Structure 1
Amino acid sequence: MKGGTQKTGSPAGGLPVTNITGRPAGNKSMPVTALNRLLADKLALAGLVIILAVVIVGIMAPYLAPNDPEKIVLSQKLAAPSAAYPLGTDHLGRCILSRLIYGTRLSLSTAAIALVTIMLISIPLGTLSGYLGGRLDNLVMRVIDVLLAFPGLVLALVIAGMLGPGLMNVMIATAAVWWVGYARVIRGVVLSVREKEFVLAARSSGTSHCGIIVRHILPNVLSPVIVLATLDMGSLILAISGLSFLGLGAQPPTPEWGAMLNDGRPYMQVVPRLMVYPGLAIMTVVLAFNLLGDGLRDALDPRGTTRR
């Protein structure tokens, strides 16, 4: 051990974990170093730019959309792209571009809310399970083992089907399935940190369990959780869009990318653009989050390795 810092491998699928002795917040130069690594990664920067652009489009949707996304004009159904309808219209004469723009807001916000819900469940459970151990740890791990025995998307489909169609029920279904992976990652990090010298020193000096968790445990949990959350945003968008495609998510006439795919399915051979445009939107956003997540993983890696 050199300079009071000990580097350990990841307990959860290659996600970086840095255990720092002495100061719970770690070396002050670490955020700067991580930022420099991220800025040097062109693919990660490209992903970040795409995500920021998509977020801005969602926020500015009322000003960017050329038409009302829910307005039905049957006389213009399946119209080719034109000045009034830049990407054409769907089977009900609704502007495809306007629906894509408004769908950006709905798809991203739904995935973000589901992700926040997952964090609120997994961080307390994973932290307490790893730090306290004992019966609580056994109970949490057995629940996780049972949930992981089922394919995640299938289990989300079952839960959403039981709750009924609707975006709120889809968010509940995805959160009920996704939290287990986060809880395992967090528990693994906590198990590796709680035996470190700085935690033992804090415990021997009379620091309360709450103080140890807040000052020493949680700062070490942040890096892997941030990386996992960034990578999982793409998976959540795919899952929510998939459930909407099956009719369990957004209901007509709500503009949502998965629902747009479902609406265009009967016309796939006649007017393929009805499925191509929302499919490209989903693919682009998911790819952007994956690129940014990979960049963050490399930037926060304490070993200093970077992707070429």
Structure 2
Amino acid sequence: MITAENLRKRYGSKTAVDGISFQLAPGKVTGFLGPNGSGKSTTMRMAVGLDKPTSGSVTIGGKSFPQHAAPLRTVGAVLDAGATHPGRTGRGHLQVLAATHKISKKRVDEVIELTGLGAASRKRIKSYSLGMNQRLGIAAALLGDPAVLIFDEPVNGLDPEGVRWVRSLARDMAAEGRTVFVSSHLMSEMSQTADHLIVLGQGRIIADAPIGQLLDSGEQRVLVRTEKPADLRRALGAEGVSIEQTDAETLEVTGLDARSIGRRALETQVVLHELTPQRSTLEDEYMKLTGEHVEYRSGGQEDRS
């Protein structure tokens, strides 16, 4: 379990993390989302003792990271996959880490196999691609068979097969009762991986809820296709109902559910060729949540911060 209580981190006049509190339960994948500069990586670094909180605390299993006698057996983290000695082989890197915790060579072989490093483990790290560095970082995180896993952008640089593998790994680890904490900018991937989401905006928590709850809270839309869109518009017209025509036969209706639309179409004898509820995507809800909390914007976008 990971617990943060009034966690705050300042760098000079800049507040990176602004008094956040949360508790991550075992057996779940918790996704960590937020715009660039929102404080995600800083929070993860404080969790594993790489940054010291200005105030508040973050503990793992009831202790701060430095208090654990054998941290690799408690927490596995991938925060910077490139933080390795380029002259070592992947296997050599893992063997050095294993030696610090009296972890067997057999376990080194197991994580090499599990992460798909295979023959590449005998090559020097300086020859690794970004994706292979990610696999090596994940192998190092799994060495001690820890109860807690913290992954910061673990699919960065991976091909589609690798992305799917990380997704399955995270879900499998959670199913075994581990606490899995994963940050990502890939909304489609997070929607398939996470059970729970924490969203940061400018260092503060703006959402902390099960992913299903966040998606269900979105505005419900229904896609309707008919040869008589004008007639259907008149039948559906009412206060609180929004209708957008996307092509000659297609309407997107907000404010009425599919059953109500179908009933009104029947009453007015309008034939429907499609009636499909459109559930909000995670990207839709994320953009709504973070719209006022984006610190860095692409050129041409209105600055609302």
Give the TM-score range, shorter chain: under 0.3
The structure whose residues are more often helix, as a share, is 1
Give the TM-score normalised by the residue count of structure 1.
0.25
Give the TM-score normalised by the residue count of structure 2.
0.25
From the CA coordinates, give the structure whose radius of gyration is larger: 2
The structure whose residues are more often strand, as a share, is 2
Higher relative contact order (CA 8 A, sep 6+): 1
